[in-house]
Amino acid sequence: MRRLSRGSKIVLASHNAGKLREFSTLLAESDITVVSAGELNLPEPEETADTFVGNSEIKALAAARASGLPALADDSGFCVSALDGQPGVYSARWGGPTKDMTVAMERVHRKMGETTDHGASFVAALCLAWPDGETHSVVGECHGQTVWPPRGEHGHGYDPMFRPEGETRTFAEMDESEKNAISHRGRAFALFLKECVEN
């Protein structure tokens, strides 16, 4: 498998400001330089797959082909066990056309009704794609519980309604480095460094 060498420049194929912030911190200690899909005016491809890995491949390949650079994409979501894993790959779409995450969290809460099963997890698939079409994906998960009402001002997305296992605080009550150390994205990123970057 092909690896990124030190000093490589890649495209970060995401239009989500919260993810981009987390990746810039995660990448700060590597030698990799990044430019975002938004900075290059790359279009957002339609996420037509029904798996996180499938959608991360769609996003990474579109950005790599359009830019001529290796591209790293993230497809992630919130999986609630009482809802059979929903919203899952539809996590962004549950926020409606404007991806309003307050709307999305309320929808999860309403659908959960009176259930006593509060199990939930975040999943992130990261795909590194090359302009010639080669891809490599890794997956990270973080298990925990849903919390209602939402708590905390940090983070993004569903963070205010998720408490990771063994913690009293929600993701949104942690600072970014604490979240990155245990999150689905942080775990997937560690695998990406191990499997996709020369050391």
Ligand X SMILES: O=c1nc[nH]c2c1ncn2[C@H]1C[C@H](O)[C@@H](COP(=O)(O)OP(=O)(O)OP(=O)(O)O)O1
Taking the least distance from each CB to Mg ion, the nearer of 61 and 92 is: 92
- Tell me which of Mg ion, ligand X, none is bound by residue 19, counting a contact when its beta carbon lies within the kind-specific cut-off of 5 to 8 angstroms: ligand X
The count of other CB atoms within 10 Å of the CB of residue 88 is 18
Task: Tell whether 75 is in a known binding site.
Answer: yes
- Tell me which of ligand X, Mg ion, none is bound by residue 122, counting a contact when its beta carbon lies within the kind-specific cut-off of 5 to 8 angstroms: ligand X
**Is 175 noted as a catalytic residue in this protein?**
no
Task: Tell whether 118 is in a known binding site.
Answer: no
Task: Tell whether 15 is in a known binding site.
Answer: yes
What is the rounded distance in angstroms from the CA atom of residue 95 to the CA atom of residue 175?
Answer: 24
- Comparing C-alpha atoms, which of 88, 30, 94, 101 is closest to residue 54? 88
Residue numbers at the binding site for ligand X (CB under 6 A): 14-16, 19, 44, 47, 59, 74-78, 91-92, 95, 122, 155-159, 171, 183, 185
- Which member of 31, 75, 132, 175 is catalytic? 75
- Tell me which of ligand X, Mg ion, none is bound by residue 57, counting a contact when its beta carbon lies within the kind-specific cut-off of 5 to 8 angstroms: none
Residues serving a catalytic function are 75
Q: Which residues bind to Mg ion, rule: CB under 5 A?
A: 92
